[in-house]
Structure 1
Amino acid sequence: MRIALLQTTSPEGDDDTAFATLAHAMQAAAAMQAVTLVAPETYLPGYGQPDIPARAQPRGGPWHQRLAALCVAQGCGIVVGYAERDGASVYNSAVAFDASGREIGHYRKVQLFGPREKSIYAAGDSVATFDLGGIRTGLLICYDVEFAHLVRALTLQGAALILVPTANPEPNGHVSRLVVPAHAINHSVTIAYANYCGTEGAITYCGGSVIAAPDAAMLAYAGPAPALLVADIGRTPDPALLQTQAADFRPLG
């Protein structure tokens, strides 16, 4: 199965810019036979926007309707982060649609990062998996993937692929270079990590979007500039590098 990652600048609250960028990337991804495109964290309306609570939309609302139509028009699925309004609460969420425009996965970020996120969002309290092209798949968002227990929770549900919209700023380039491949090999899972690049207000993003295989091989890696990564995740990992931590794990106490 082939997947695509979009590394791009923030749309900075401009929905038309956001959807035009997604449409172009999905068209290219579909032309290369990718089943889905993974876009960054809270791409709708943009991670660093100052008025996220006012802009947040409900699950199934106008953003979702527009995304579903885009999937049908481009013949490609999408995973994208968005600010979700649910009553009085706002969540840092990600949604997955397949190429028919059907919602197949939804997730609310569990590990909120720093005082800003904690002041805006309520935290999610669960993980979930879904089927993507016959592969059991989970969603995490940015800081989540740095927590081993969340990666393990997904693999215990059978996930072989984890898709991660992210908004990783400088100077944290070590996350995509080191942490993501380490979790991929330790948990025998493919991890696709889609970051922003450029600046948004006071935030400078470090790029470095990556697709890491279960043997820690980087199937695709972006530098600091806009990029579309496409990789076939069906390669056979080096058996000598496959780990057995999941089977060997012994809890203390």
Structure 2
Amino acid sequence: MRIALWQGPSPAGNVAAGVAALVPMIRAAGAAGASVLVAPEVWLPGYNHGQVAQKALAATAPALDELAAACRAAGCGLVLGYAEAADGAVWNSAVFLDAAGARVANYRKIQLYGPRERALYRAGDAYVTFDLDGRRAALLICYDIEFAPHVAALAAQGVDLILVPTANMAPFTHVVRATVPAMAANYGLSIAYANYCGSEGDLTYVGGSLIAGPHGEVLAQAGDHPALLVADLPPRDPARLSTQLQDFRKVQDAP
């Protein structure tokens, strides 16, 4: 299975520009034979824009329809991070549009990061899994992937691919260098982690978007400039998979 991700500068509140930047990336990913393209967190309207709540998108937003049409034309799915307006609240969400442009899954971020996110968004409370070309896939968003219990819970449900829009900013370079590959290796699944590059407001993004395989191998990784990554996911080799979950011995705390 081949997947792609896009690392780029934030559209910074310009929804039309965000859509316009993604359409050729969807086309390129489809031409490369990718099943899905993953875009960064809150790509629409931009993660650190001051009017995220005012520019949050409903499920019927024309911007999402335009991207669905691009998926159909390219024969490539899309995972898009966006600010979702629904149920009287704003959610930090990710939607999966399949290669036919159908809305297959919508996930709301569970682990909101910092006071700004907690003031702006309502937290999600459920995992979302779906079939993607014969693989069991799931969505997480940014900070979510840093919590081992969430990754473990998805692995226990048979998930072997996690698609992660993110907005990882300085100084947290350890996430792209160590945390994501370690999570992939520890739980025997592949992770696609799509970050921003450049600056937005008072944030500087670290880039480093990557696709990690089920044994912790980094299949493709960006630097700190715009990049389209494409990689083939290897099959899981039972001889190389971590045995930590089977071998774990719980130590009883002393009274």
Q: TM-score, normalised by structure 1?
A: 0.95
- AA aligned to 1:180 is V
Q: Which runs of 5+ in 2 are unaligned?
A: none
Match of 1:134 in 2: 134
Residues in 2 aligned to 1:251 and 1:137: alpha-carbon distance in whole angstroms = 29
Alignment partner, residue 32 of structure 2: 32
Q: 2:4 is aligned with what amino acid? A: A
Equivalent residues of 1:195, 1:208 under 8 A apart: yes
- Residue 9 of structure 1 corresponds to 9
1:55 has 2:55 as partner: yes
Name the CA distance, whole Å, in 1 between partners of 2:30 and 2:58. 28
Whichever residue aligns with residue 137 of structure 1, its letter is A
Cross-structure match for 2:240: 241
2:106 aligns with 106
Match of 2:175 in 1: 175
Structure 2 residue aligned with 1:223: 223
> Quick one: distance in 1 between partners of 2:73 and 2:20?
12
* Aligned CA distance change for structure 1 residues 74 and 112 (closer, same or farther; 3 Å): same
The amino acid that maps onto 2:68 is A
Checking the alignment, whether the CA contact within 8 Å between 2:31 and 2:74 is kept in structure 1 is no
Any idea what the Cα deviations from partners look like across 1:184-238, whole Å, max 9, x if unmatched?
A: 01000101100000011111000000111111100001111100000000x2456
Q: Structure 1: how far apart are the matches of 2:207 and 2:247?
A: 35
Instruction: State whether residues 104 and 131 of structure 1, in contact with CA within 8 Å, keep that contact through their aligned partners in structure 2.
Output: no
Taking only aligned residues, the RMSD between alpha carbons, in angstroms, comes to 1.4
Residues 157-189 of structure 1, C-alpha deviations (whole Å, 9 max, x = no match): 110000000000011111011000111010001
Q: TM-score, normalised by structure 2?
A: 0.95
Counterpart Cα distance in 1 of 2:100 and 2:239: 39
Contact 1:81-1:95 at 8 Å conserved across structures: yes
Identity %: 54
For 1:36 and 1:112, the matched residues in 2 are separated by: 25
User: Does the CA-based 8 Å contact 1:128-1:154 persist in structure 2?
Assistant: no
Unaligned runs of 5+ in 1: none
Q: Which moved more, 1:53-62 or 1:158-167?
A: 53-62
- What amino acid sits opposite 1:154 in the alignment? L
1:82 matched residue in structure 2: 82
- Match of 2:53, SS? helix
Q: Aligned letter for 1:91?
A: W
- Partner residue in 2 for 1:121: 121
| 2: CA distance, partners of 1:207 / 1:237 | 27
The separation in 1 between residues aligned to 2:13 and 2:80, in whole angstroms, is 15
Q: Distance in 2 between matches of 1:92 and 1:163?
A: 15
CA 1:198–1:251 in structure 2 vs 1: closer, same or farther (change >3 Å)? same
CA separation of 1:17/1:123 partners in 2, compared to 1, >3 Å: closer, same or farther? same
Return the alpha-carbon distance in structure 1 between the equivalents of residues 67 and 245 of structure 2: 36
CA distance in 1, matches of 2:61, 2:118: 24
Secondary structure at the aligned position of 2:224 is classed as coil
Q: 2-side partners of 1:16 and 1:61: how far apart? A: 12
- Size of the aligned set, in residue pairs, is 252
- The whole-number CA distance in structure 1 between the counterparts of 2:228 and 2:251 is 43
SS in 2 for 1:72: helix
What is the DSSP-based 3-state SS (H/G/I as helix, E as strand, rest coil) of the residue aligned with 2:115? helix
